[in-house]
Structure 1
């Protein structure tokens, strides 16, 4: 039996990487999926891939740091399918890899705007929609950088710690209204973001796998599909007693 049959799911930052894999996984499990991204071309490509499988999906462009865009995205979901059951707040950026004293205010503000304000705005709009139809489930994308520190990534680390804080509070505030809110904390995952971080950290002298795989006890980096599997499970009835959790998917990284 499909985990998400007849459910409506929203995925932000779904034009590539973890977001695209998650949108595809929701569709595979029977959900009707709204794909959102600031990059319209990439988002439409995800929709095309989903529709080729025979599943139902459409696209809503949104910059999650913009409140009007976020509300328009939710309005699009409701206008298309009448309800919102599941949401994955995945949109995020990494920014510059520099010591704190070399980080610009502009870089800090942009990372906080997308990674933290974006999750805040999405939570507000998603929860408001879910309250009208009896509940739902939300997964926020944090990071192992939301659990521990990473030299050179102070704005990113601050944003992801903030995501975990928002997750805890939202889970507590809306548990009795049937809304579950969790975050996941990926380690090194094979995505363009990880490629960018590795290139900045090594000056392009080492591949992502060469740099990151030895840092994980399992001896490799993860895949976007492995993260997507966890996200969809957390949104499913199989995780009905899980809320307010921050779940690492990191090959044992933070266990060290």
Structure 2
């Protein structure tokens, strides 16, 4: 992977975003870490810099288009271009049956997970097209491939991520844009740990339903994401790669 590449990672303060940031930093990629949490984002920036790579933090509520445009503008200002985009920021929601969601809860999950991802793709792809192309990886979920009880709104947004992934690949492949998605199963991230505390029985049932009988690790997902973002995956476009211990294979 070229040392001159530039990446944006949303939700970069923890979990999958942080794991991908640290993996890319090992290859000398310059990184814009985007997160709602200033402390978490700056922590990731410090870890990247310890590896000798360049990084900046931009705080953003990705459900606001102006915040998304700002992190794109700040990246171009600092690093001159955008080669890779890990479009990852997301929340799980309350973990209840769909009819028990409030309108506010539905709007929050859709705003962050789906609108935030769409805004990111729009503004980042505009820059990539000006500069000859680039690679996007969106975070979907097993809940974007199959239905899962108690995460209805989340599942709807993650199915939406699959749709936009395939659309961008179809529309802009000839102009050098690659857009893929990953569909992780339940990974040991802070978001999942919080969900597990609220819904221990649900998570226990999830582990039992995974053929490998364990949750995934963020570093395992980071291996996949960095591969898809990089040049070795040049002929992979518009696809959704499951990484779930076999959960959606049965």
Q: How does the TM-score come out when normalised to structure 2? A: 0.97
Instruction: State yes or no: 1:232 paired with 2:226.
Output: yes
Instruction: State yes or no: 1:254 paired with 2:248.
Output: yes
Cα drift, residue 211 of structure 1: 4.8
Aligned ranges 1:1-256 → 2 under 5 Å: 3-202=1-200, 210-256=204-250
Cα drift, residue 171 of structure 1: 1.0
Cα drift, residue 61 of structure 1: 1.1
Structure 2, unaligned runs of 5 or more: none
Give the Cα–Cα distance (whole angstroms) in 1 for the partners of residues 128 and 67 of structure 2: 18
Q: 1:212–1:220: 8 Å Cα contact kept in structure 2? A: no
What are the superposed Cα offsets for residues 190-230 of structure 1, whole Å, 9 maximum, x if unpaired? Answer: 0111122223323xx68x5x554332112211110111111
Give the Cα–Cα distance (whole angstroms) in 2 for the partners of residues 47 and 97 of structure 1: 31
Give the Cα–Cα distance (whole angstroms) in 1 for the partners of residues 78 and 183 of structure 2: 31
Aligned length: 250
What are the superposed Cα offsets for residues 62-105 of structure 1, whole Å, 9 maximum, x if unpaired? Answer: 11111111111001110011000000011000111111221111
Large movers: runs of 4+ above 2 Å:
196-202, 210-215
Give the superposed CA RMSD: 1.3
Cα drift, residue 5 of structure 1: 2.2
Q: 1:168–1:245: 8 Å Cα contact kept in structure 2? A: yes
Give the Cα–Cα distance (whole angstroms) in 1 for the partners of residues 2 and 185 of structure 2: 26
Cα drift, residue 33 of structure 1: 0.8
Structure 1, unaligned runs of 5 or more: none
Give the Cα–Cα distance (whole angstroms) in 2 for the partners of residues 18 and 99 of structure 1: 26
Give secondary structure in 2 for the equivalent of 1:244. coil
Q: 1:93–1:114: 8 Å Cα contact kept in structure 2? A: yes
Give secondary structure in 1 for the equivalent of 2:62. coil
Give secondary structure in 2 for the equivalent of 1:172. helix
What are the superposed Cα offsets for residues 96-131 of structure 1, whole Å, 9 maximum, x if unpaired? Answer: 111122111111111000000000000000000101
User: Which stretch has the larger CA shift, 232-241 or 96-105?
Assistant: 96-105
